[in-house]
Amino acid sequence: MEVHSATKEDLLNIIENDAKIKIDSFVEGAIELAEEVHSGVKREDGKSSFLETHVWPVTIDVIQHYQKVNKLLTTLQIVSAILHDVMEDNEKILDLNASKAYGFEAYFRHRFGEYVYNIAMTLKTKPLENYFGTNNEQRQTARFFEYCTNLTKSAYDVKIIKLADRLNNMKFISQISEQGKIKRYLREAEDFYIAFSIFPPTVSEFYSKMREAYDELKRIKVTV
């Protein structure tokens, strides 16, 4: 299953010419921050650009979904998709946090607003040490339960961004056969994500694609 890549120019073209949405300072600011945070970041294969194989393609998938189902698409959904991964902890976030006196989260909230901030925080994976358990497996399970519960209570925009995000990750991992993540993505698809696509409001497009990605991962021989 091929994972498509996209450049920033591809994304801008789709926003302007397909979605017919003006590239304003709100969108430009989101792209700038995504580039600042994710620039130079590579994926699990050590060579694929995170921006070009994940951030831009996920945003394009979100835009195309809204067009396909004829739902209102605004810069709020676009910016939220562009920034869906920027709150994840990494060294660049820590550097940005240190460089902004009032903290990265406060800066993010002020610059992009409450709606985009809340989506990013809902999609953020919290540190494992926040959860109780006698070992990491128990803590990971507790975190997964909480994360899934929050997703089921979230707005449509959160659901679509998360499904596009997970689908992209499943497709990418199927290409590099990363054993640990294949096991995890199979388990989480079985436990939650396939069903999540059919929880009301049902998104049949993502159900079909999620099943296809799941079946592709199942065909890969995973050592126990």
Residue 1: predicted pLDDT? 47
Looking at residue 180, its pLDDT comes to 84
**What pLDDT is attached to residue 179?**
79
Mean pLDDT by runs of 10 across the 224 residues of the chain is: 82 97 98 94 92 97 97 98 85 51 82 97 92 94 97 97 97 85 94 97 96 94 66
161: left (phi over 0), alpha (psi -120 to 50) or beta: alpha
Per domain, the residue ranges of the chain are: 8-218
Measured between alpha carbons, how far is residue 30 from residues 93, 152, 169, 221 in Å? 15, 26, 21, 39
The CATH architecture to which 8-218 belongs is Orthogonal Bundle (1.10)
pLDDT for 205 equals 95
Start-to-end C-alpha separation, the chain: 23
* pLDDT the model gives residue 90: 54
Question: 27 near 63, Cβ under 8 Å?
Answer: no
Task: Give the predicted TM-score (pTM) of the model.
Answer: 0.93
Sign of CA dihedral 10, 170, 117, 91: negative
Q: What is the DSSP string of 151-196?
A: HHTS-HHHHHHHHHHHHHHHHHHHHHT-HHHHHHHHHHIIIIIHHH
47 secondary structure, DSSP code: S
